[in-house]
């Protein structure tokens, strides 16, 4: 029987996600953040909102479409949630474009980074742009006149399009009043102009401006009355029937193309689009007026994300730094296996380098003593030295097993390609357990030493992805502890074979033991508090949503347990409510790096238990995914995790936001006390000494 929860004790997930994006937008508003980085934050908000509409809003619409009236733990139905989401999303997007137009673009202009509006072009610019249009743009455009033989085209998800209103007859005597022009994705959305033409060092023009100015060239002899850019966002959830699927990779390959043409969930148009055109587009996409988002600028700000990389102005960006390497690994060509045998090794990314992980697997791939390598792959990127090393190891005759998660959202195609390449060279490729995403981050090497087999393991909180390892905060642990390695081997066996789940020595694993162990650890602190002993829980994660866990934290608070939560994104728990959660505080850190570590600390009567995990405290992570949560057993490394991963963030008064019981956040940027910025301190502490640091 499903447990009943008090709705007033829980906050709404979707509204919490929008609140997180307000905190990201605040970084774009912050004048102390370097200017080009502020532009990036603005783009990140758009990217986040795209996925929010593609997945969360699409899910709400599906529930409503299917007649579902069941409410979540917060008591709100899908229809009620969607109404509030629309209202708040409109407010957020309006504010986003205000920041772009009144703050960031004028500030960039003063720095010689200029976006040239077509109303301001001089003759030289106009001539250069026309030449560019005729040579680079017009040849790849396919304008579509709308008439009985040319119905409204299939519009790709998130693609740039133009609705054109026309007057007159074409060469065949047709009197069509409407046309659609789709901008191919091969075309850049911002085009750099030569400095001598733009009049500044870094001058750009939007592709939309170029098309607006020259759309008449596409309709010879007809008059263009209006031209409006638009963009539609579609449902991007993939559906694979667990009971019917026989080959997951083939089924997924067949499903992926449909993502581009799912049901529409949002329509974006420019603010000067006529209501007549907007109504026509809404009708074509079967959307309502409140699904229409009018924006004062380009309809896809995500495509501005590459501007900082194209502008050589280091003074307008976060200073670069070189990630550090633990002392035991600093010797060039260090034998990873020898180092790990001497003791566990902890890496804290991005402050410390991801390279030791690449070195580890590359050494394993060529080491004659290594007989087997096993790894999980959730996100690893299109280009990956790790995957190349696994392919090389297979070709050298080693037993290579790779558990590839084909349903890693928006990385499905890359993972399918890696699975195919690995299979082609003879690696054992499995896709985990249908119905349960494999989200655990595990890498195991089996090596023959002195006539016996010894296992080495790397366990992490983040993906095996070198690029995101420079942007996300994560911990990774190397160990050859026999019991921990035996646990990892058991999880790999579950993923590749069949059989009952066995009890593990140290690892907590979803979907079998992680939830129970987390609840048990929380309840243990509760019992200690009830016995008059000091009890303390600190947990850091991306999201906190699972109702039973939240209820257990409420009970702990009522018993007197001090609960400190560092939750980057959405949190359904209400902190600081008298009689319920007055001993719980929730903070969110939003800074240069995306906070991604999952750390669980339980004082446990001075045992100071510390766990790292791939899992957030969410229903999906506890019950519908393969996850691992692993202890830090070495006392020195345990202290490092507490100091670097928890205490530094609890003391942060620069990039921290504190949450109240209504789910609203207040920035803790202090001007009265000594400034403490966790991410800055970790760069100074762990990066190479010669590195520059975040100002």
- List CB contacts of 381: < 8 A, sequence separation 6 or more: 414, 465, 466, 467, 468
Least confident window among 5-9, 188-192, 261-265, 312-316: 261-265
pLDDT tens digits along 524-570? 999 999 999 999 999 999 999 999 999 999 999 999 999 999 999 99
- The structure's pTM equals 0.92
The pLDDT value given to residue 437 = 86
Rounded to an integer, what distance in angstroms lies between the CA atom of residue 85 and that of residue 574?
Answer: 19
Check if the beta carbon of residue 248 is closer than 8 Å to that of residue 406. yes
State the DSSP code for 436.
Answer: B
The pLDDT value given to residue 392 = 94
Confidence of residue 149 (pLDDT cuts 50, 70, 90): low
pLDDT tens digits along 171-185? 555 566 789 999 988
The pLDDT value given to residue 675 = 87
Q: Which of 212, 348, 439, 458 is catalytic?
A: 439
Check if the beta carbon of residue 404 is closer than 8 Å to that of residue 429. yes
Structural domains in the chain, CATH included, are 7-316 (3.30.1840.10), 327-503 (3.30.870.10), 509-686 (3.30.870.10)
Task: Note if 439 is an active site residue.
Answer: yes
pLDDT value at 633 more than 60: yes
pLDDT tens digits along 653-675? 999 999 999 999 999 876 667 88
The pLDDT value given to residue 556 = 98
pLDDT value at 142 more than 80: yes
The pLDDT value given to residue 529 = 98
pLDDT tens digits along 585-603? 999 999 999 999 999 999 9
The pLDDT value given to residue 257 = 54
pLDDT value at 249 more than 80: no
Check if the beta carbon of residue 629 is closer than 8 Å to that of residue 508. yes
- List CB contacts of 325: < 8 A, sequence separation 6 or more: 352, 353, 355, 356
Rounded to an integer, what distance in angstroms lies between the CA atom of residue 26 and that of residue 669?
Answer: 12
pLDDT value at 353 more than 60: yes
Rounded to an integer, what distance in angstroms lies between the CA atom of residue 320 and that of residue 317?
Answer: 8
The pLDDT value given to residue 146 = 79
Rounded to an integer, what distance in angstroms lies between the CA atom of residue 216 and that of residue 224?
Answer: 6
The pLDDT value given to residue 694 = 45
Between the CA of residue 132 and those of 88, 129, 505, what are the distances in Å? 40, 5, 65
pLDDT value at 170 more than 70: no
Segment 576-580 mean pLDDT: 97
DSSP codes, 66-134: TT-----TT---HHHHHHHHHHHHHHHHHHHHHHIIIIIHHHHHHTTEEE--GGG--HHHHHHHHHHII
Sequence length of the chain is 695
The pLDDT value given to residue 244 = 43
The pLDDT value given to residue 406 = 72
207 class by beta-carbon count within 10 Å (0-12 exposed, 13-18 middle, 19+ buried): buried
How crowded is residue 680: how many other Cβ atoms within 10 Å of its Cβ? 19
Confidence of residue 505 (pLDDT cuts 50, 70, 90): very high
pLDDT tens digits along 198-208? 999 999 999 99
pLDDT tens digits along 56-106? 999 999 889 888 666 788 999 999 999 999 999 999 999 999 999 999 999
Pick the more confident residue, 29 or 146: 29
């Amino acid at each position: 029987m499903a447990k009943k929860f008090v709705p007033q004790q829980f906050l709404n997930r979707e509204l919490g996600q929008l609140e997180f994006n307000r905190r990201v937008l605040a970084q774009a508003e912050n004048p102390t953040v370097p200017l080009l980085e502020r532009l990036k934050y603005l783009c990140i908000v758009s990217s986040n909102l795209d996925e929010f509409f593609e997945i969360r809003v699409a899910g709400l619409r599906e529930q409503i479409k299917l007649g579902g009236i069941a409410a979540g733990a917060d008591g709100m139905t899908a229809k009620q949630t969607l109404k509030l989401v629309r209202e708040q999303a409109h407010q957020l997007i309006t504010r986003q474009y205000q920041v772009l137009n009144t703050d960031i673009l004028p500030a960039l202009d003063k720095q010689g980074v200029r976006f040239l509006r077509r109303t301001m072009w001089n003759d030289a610019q106009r001539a250069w742009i026309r030449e560019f249009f005729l040579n680079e743009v017009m040849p790849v455009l396919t304008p579509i006149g709308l008439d009985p033989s040319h119905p409204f085209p299939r519009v790709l998800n998130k693609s740039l399009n133009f609705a054109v209103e026309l007057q007159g007859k074409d060469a065949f005597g047709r009197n069509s009043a409407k046309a659609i022009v789709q901008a191919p994705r091969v075309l850049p959305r911002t085009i750099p102009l030569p400095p001598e033409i733009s009049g500044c060092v870094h001058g750009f023009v939007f592709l939309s401006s170029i098309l607006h100015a020259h759309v008449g060239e596409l309709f010879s002899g007809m008059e263009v009355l209006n031209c409006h850019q638009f963009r539609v966002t579609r449902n991007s959830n993939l559906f694979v029937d667990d009971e019917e699927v026989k080959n997951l990779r083939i089924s997924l390959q067949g499903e992926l193309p449909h993502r581009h043409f799912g049901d529409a969930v949002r329509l974006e148009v420019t603010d000067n689009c006529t209501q007549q055109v907007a109504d026509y587009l809404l009708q074509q996409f079967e959307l309502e007026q409140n699904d229409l988002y009018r924006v004062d600028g380009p309809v896809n700000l995500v495509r501005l994300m590459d501007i900082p990389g194209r502008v050589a102005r280091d003074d307008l960006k976060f200073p670069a730094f070189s990630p550090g390497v633990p002392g035991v690994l600093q010797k060039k060509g260090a034998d990873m296996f020898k180092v790990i045998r001497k003791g566990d090794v902890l890496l804290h990314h991005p402050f410390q380098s991801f390279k030791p992980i690449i070195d580890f697997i590359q050494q394993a791939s060529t080491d004659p003593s290594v007989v087997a390598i096993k790894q999980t792959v959730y996100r690893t990127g299109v280009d990956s030295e790790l995957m190349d090393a696994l392919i090389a190891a297979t070709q050298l005759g080693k037993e290579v097993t790779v558990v590839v998660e084909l349903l890693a959202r928006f990385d499905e195609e890359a993972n399918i390609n890696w699975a195919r390449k690995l299979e082609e060279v003879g690696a054992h490729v499995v896709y985990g357990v249908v119905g349960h995403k494999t989200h655990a981050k595990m890498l195991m090497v089996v090596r023959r030493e002195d006539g016996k087999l010894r296992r080495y393991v790397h366990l992490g909180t983040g993906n095996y992805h070198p690029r995101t390892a420079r942007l996300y905060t994560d911990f990774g642990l190397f160990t050859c502890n026999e019991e921990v390695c035996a646990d990892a081997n058991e999880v790999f066996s579950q993923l590749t074979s069949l059989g009952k789940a066995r009890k593990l020595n140290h690892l907590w694993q979803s979907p079998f033991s992680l939830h129970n162990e987390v609840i048990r650890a929380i309840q243990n602190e509760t019992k200690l508090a009830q016995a008059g002993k000091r009890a303390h829980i600190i947990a850091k994660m991306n999201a906190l949503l699972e109702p039973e866990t939240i209820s257990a934290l409420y009970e702990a608070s009522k018993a007197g347990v001090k609960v400190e939560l560092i939750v980057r994104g959405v949190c359904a728990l209400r902190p600081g409510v008298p009689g319920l959660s007055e001993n719980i505080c929730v903070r969110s850190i939003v800074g240069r790096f995306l906070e991604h570590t999952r750390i669980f600390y339980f004082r446990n009567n001075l045992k100071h238990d510390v766990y790292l995990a791939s899992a957030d405290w969410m229903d999906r992570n506890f019950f519908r995914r393969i996850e691992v949560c692993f202890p830090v057993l070495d006392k020195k490394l345990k202290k490092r995790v507490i100091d670097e991963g928890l205490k530094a963030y609890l003391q942060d008064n620069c990039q921290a936001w504190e949450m109240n019981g209504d789910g609203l956040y207040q920035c803790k940027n202090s001007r009265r006390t000594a400034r403490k910025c966790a991410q800055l301190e970790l760069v100074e502490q762990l990066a190479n000494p010669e590195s520059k640091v975040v100002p």
